[in-house]
Amino acid sequence: MNNYFSRSKEEVLTEFNSSVNGLTDNQVKSYTEKYGLNELKEKEKKSTFIVFLEQFKDLLVLILIIAGAVSMAIGNIESTLVIFVVIILNAILGTVQHVKAEQSLNSLKALSAPNSKVIRNGNKIEIPSNQVVPGDILILEAGDLVAADGRILENYSLQVNESSLTGESESVNKFSEIIAEEEIALGDQKNMVFSGSLVTYGRANVLITKTGMDTEIGKIASLLENTQEKKTPLQASLDDFSKKLAIIILIISAIIFGIDVFRGTPILDSLMFAVALAVAAIPEALSSIVTIVLALGTQKMASENAIVKYLKAVEGLGCVSVICSDKTGTLTQNKMTVKKSFVNGKIIEDKEYNLNDETEKLLLQTSILCNDSSAEGGKEIGDPTEVALVNLGKIYSINELELRNKYERISEIPFDSDRKLMSTSHKINEKNLMLTKGALDVLLNRVKYIKTSTGVREITKEDIITIEKTNREFSENGLRVLAFAYKEIEENQSLTLDDENNYTFIGLISMIDPPREESKKAVHDCITAGIKPVMITGDHKITACAIAKEIGIFKDGDLALEGLELEKMSDEELKEKVDKISVYARVSPEHKIRIVRAWQEKDMIVAMTGDGVNDAPALKQANIGIAMGITGTEVSKDAASMILTDDNFATIVKSVANGRNVYKNIKNSIRFLLSGNTAGILAILYASLLALPMPFAPVHLLFINLLTDSLPAIAIGLEMGNDDLLTEKPRNSKDSILTKDFVKSISVEGLLIAIFTMIAFHIGLNFGDAALASTMSFSTLCLARLFHGFNCRGKQSIFKLGFKSNKYSIWAFLAGFVLLTAVLVVPVLQNLFEVSPLNLGQIGLIYILAIIPTVLIQAYKLLINDNSNTDKKNLSNSNKDKSIAA
């Protein structure tokens, strides 16, 4: 494209006027092809297929595929079908859940990507922002989101908030004057607007020069390429667990195969049994169950204002030990509110203004007239500090538009970040007044008089000391302070910078972005859960510390650092002190990455919140990146694992609780699957070592596998969370799922079920029939595993958990019980599943033997676990009461 930066304003305007009809349809089509939009759509289509293929990467699934191939080779069609149907269903389920999560994200993107107004074919039209292309003439007005980078052609007092790009909250004044290219290189680009910026005041016509990843915002994405995403603890743990389990099962299957061949069993029959054992022993439902539990976790979180992009990030949240949170909008309301004012030599609250007092009335009027924002009809447009002043007027039924119509603005000097002042002129009560607001340190040096309720007089040294002391008190309490003054001028005088002196001081107005009501409780819950909350903000250290103290993040003995202080510290020094630092102020994107890495080097799982483009690299570096759904940019959302639709810190804490519950349920499901499989393996090993007939036919193992490895395990994954979730400390992310205690409980429970299964087997043998013995052992193992589903719902007994609190477990048990009974009594099913006929006494005996392991396990939980958990809860409540009392 042409170099718009180096051309003269006249040249650009000439082109603008000659092509004001905008792009033709052919030009738009050309740009669409040039910028690869069609290719992008094709990539989106392929991505779903790639996601489907990725479902087969799991080691357990690969072993199942091999088992299915062996089964097919030896002609066992039923077994082959069962294996491949389970694998494909699992892959489809995983793909569907991924697509659903992406659809939720796309819905959120649609909310944050409004349409843009452009000139095309001589008409002003509105199109989706992602369809804006280079060469478009973009029309910007207050409240619009800039869709792409562009060169300002015509400007009408345009002010743009570029915080998404720079992190600075102050609006920037824009101009249409030509600036030399070398000046642009130095960062002086005030004749340009950039994608993702928000128009806070004025309007402009803009020639689009860059879109998509070519924009300034797009360039920051290159940082993301060098930032590696972290695996969640469950991903790492399951990968390790899958490898170990697969090796163990393959060894056991090989041993059984060898024993059978040694005993003279035909090789093909031995191979088929080894394959059936591998299929039964490998919990192939594990992947689908984990996916289902995670997917249900994402749905629950979505209903609580958290959209999760990656399913496994749900569990990662449950392992979080540090939350680095932005202040504005996340911990606070993102709405500046006037708190205290200083006028007539005294401090007054926002609702204590006396409009009968001339000075107080003038202060209020000045704050609204020397102001470019509006809050008409509930829609707030403009700088947040100016909006706060307009809202102050509304407390006293003062409408800003009516006041500005009454005292019309005659002339103005816009706010400038270097000058730190804004001035306007008006005719008020037959007097021509110049009204000015700005930073006290600048304005106080230009003040000559002071206005009080007794009149106007020269300002004294004592007045100045009092004003400065009040300003200092306001600032130390985290309040942002603006000073106001006025002077009389000539009628219709055009204001210049030379006029900004010899003022009469009126007063100070202070404001703050107040904490969200729920932030204090959320921070308390965070600390109770063993999670360290850290505030990272671009605001002043004093303001940040004041808010952090109020909500409980910053406590005695904690440290607060500014970006400049952080820069002087080495990585080693930061790592040493990082656990003592609760507040970081005035930080850059690089600082945020350093903070996250310092925690990660201490083996902490870090969640990081952010909304700007400059937050994206840190969001990706964090174990769990959390983007803001309302104020967040697209780049930050793309880099994050989770998006908050309400931008609320309390939602993060809820998500942590959900994540912990998800992990607990997944672990309980694994416990159910492995203890049941252990029982089957132990029973087969017992029979092999004692040279007994095989207790199960291959079809028995497949039936048990299908019946007990699906619905009961999923039902366990649907167990509701309880209040204890946030009283536990985060688990060590390096801990394997197969901890010593976990393996012990699986082994004991599996052995218990195996013992009663083999008792049923021996009873069948005593009746003199190996087929009957196999039927009784198969039925006992199957029903015992169904009963065992109730044991695996949690650590407590079923009486403590509540029998009806998980209706899915009841339905899963009843479904399995009915199917098993049907197999035992229906002749057609008896032949299909190689089951011998049973009399009522034998069926009753099977039911009794199957329930005994559950009775024993529940008795142990009732006597040991329930009392232990009650003591822990009482201790936790006692500590909480002491904390509150303190």
Residue type at position 274: A
The confidence score (pLDDT) of residue 711 equals 83
- State what percent of residues in the chain have pLDDT above 90: 32
CA-CA distance, 217 to 146, in Å (whole number)? 12
pLDDT digits (tens, 9 = 90+) for 316-331: 788 899 999 888 778 8
- Residue 279 in contact with residue 673, Cβ under 8 Å? no
Query: How do strand 606-610 and strand 624-628 relate by DSSP bridges?
Result: parallel
The residue that leads in pLDDT, 831 or 564, is 564
Question: For residue 804, what are its two tokens?
Answer: 């009806």
> Hey, what CATH class is 322-333+516-652 in?
alpha beta
The confidence score (pLDDT) of residue 535 equals 93
Q: CB burial class (10 A; 0-12, 13-18, 19+) of residue 33? A: exposed
Band of residue 253 on the pLDDT scale cut at 50, 70, 90: confident
The residue that leads in pLDDT, 490 or 161, is 490
Mean pLDDT of the chain: 80
Query: How do strand 322-326 and strand 532-537 relate by DSSP bridges?
Result: parallel
Question: For residue 653, what are its two tokens?
Answer: 């804490």
CA-CA distance, 757 to 749, in Å (whole number)? 12
- Residue 323 in contact with residue 526, Cβ under 8 Å? yes
The confidence score (pLDDT) of residue 125 equals 83
Q: For residue 879, is pLDDT > 50?
A: no
- Residue 592 in contact with residue 615, Cβ under 8 Å? yes
CA-CA distance, 119 to 126, in Å (whole number)? 9
The confidence score (pLDDT) of residue 157 equals 74
Check if 1-34+144-204 and 337-512 are the same fold.
Answer: no
Vertex 841: Cα angle to 840 and 845 (nearest 5): 115
The domain segmentation of the chain, as residue ranges, is 1-34+144-204, 322-333+516-652, 337-512
Give the position of tokens 């803001």. Answer: 628
pLDDT digits (tens, 9 = 90+) for 433-472: 999 999 999 999 999 999 999 999 999 999 999 999 999 9
Band of residue 284 on the pLDDT scale cut at 50, 70, 90: low
Band of residue 783 on the pLDDT scale cut at 50, 70, 90: very high
pLDDT digits (tens, 9 = 90+) for 728-737: 888 776 677 7
Strand partners, 452: 455
The CATH number of domain 337-512 is 3.40.1110.10: yes
843-849 mean pLDDT: 93
- In eight-state DSSP terms, residue 497 is G
CA-CA distance, 805 to 178, in Å (whole number)? 70
Q: CA nearest 738: which of 86, 230, 65, 248?
A: 248
Vertex 631: Cα angle to 626 and 632 (nearest 5): 45
Q: For residue 627, is pLDDT > 60?
A: yes
The residue that leads in pLDDT, 384 or 853, is 853
CATH number of 1-34+144-204: 2.70.150.10
What would the DSSP string read from start to end of 674-735? HHHHHHHHHHHHHHHHTTPPPSS-HHHHHHHHHHHSSHHHHHHHTPPP-GGGGGSPPPPTT-
Residues belonging to the active site: 326
- Residue 285 in contact with residue 86, Cβ under 8 Å? yes
The confidence score (pLDDT) of residue 220 equals 55
- Residue 392 in contact with residue 474, Cβ under 8 Å? no
CA-CA distance, 676 to 64, in Å (whole number)? 18
Strand partners, 706: none
Band of residue 5 on the pLDDT scale cut at 50, 70, 90: very low
Question: For residue 537, what are its two tokens?
Answer: 């903000």
The residue that leads in pLDDT, 870 or 112, is 870
Question: For residue 584, what are its two tokens?
Answer: 């970081």
The residue that leads in pLDDT, 445 or 612, is 445
Query: How do strand 447-452 and strand 411-416 relate by DSSP bridges?
Result: unpaired
- In eight-state DSSP terms, residue 852 is H
Band of residue 280 on the pLDDT scale cut at 50, 70, 90: low
Q: CA nearest 168: which of 591, 609, 612?
A: 612
Question: For residue 361, what are its two tokens?
Answer: 């009335």
* Of the ranges 137-146, 556-565, 727-736, 830-839, the best mean pLDDT one: 556-565
E-state strands within 337-479: 337-343, 346-349, 411-416, 421-428, 431-438, 447-452, 455-458
What would the DSSP string read from start to end of 436-463? EEE-HHHHGGGEEEEEETTEEEE--HHH
Band of residue 22 on the pLDDT scale cut at 50, 70, 90: low
Band of residue 558 on the pLDDT scale cut at 50, 70, 90: very high
CB proximity list for 373: less than 8 A, separation 6 or greater? 200, 201, 380, 381, 382, 383, 386, 387, 389, 390, 400
* Of the ranges 358-372, 529-543, 580-594, the best mean pLDDT one: 358-372
CA-CA distance, 600 to 608, in Å (whole number)? 12
Burial track 426-452 (b if 16+ CB lie within 10 A, e otherwise): bebeeebbbbbbbebeebbebbebbbb
The confidence score (pLDDT) of residue 406 equals 95
Largest CA distance in the chain: 120
Measured CA to CA in angstroms, residue 583 lies from 142, 326, 540, 544, 627 at distances of 34, 10, 11, 7, 20
Distance between start and end Cα atoms, the chain? 67
- In eight-state DSSP terms, residue 502 is S
Question: For residue 588, what are its two tokens?
Answer: 């850059």
- Residue 670 in contact with residue 238, Cβ under 8 Å? no
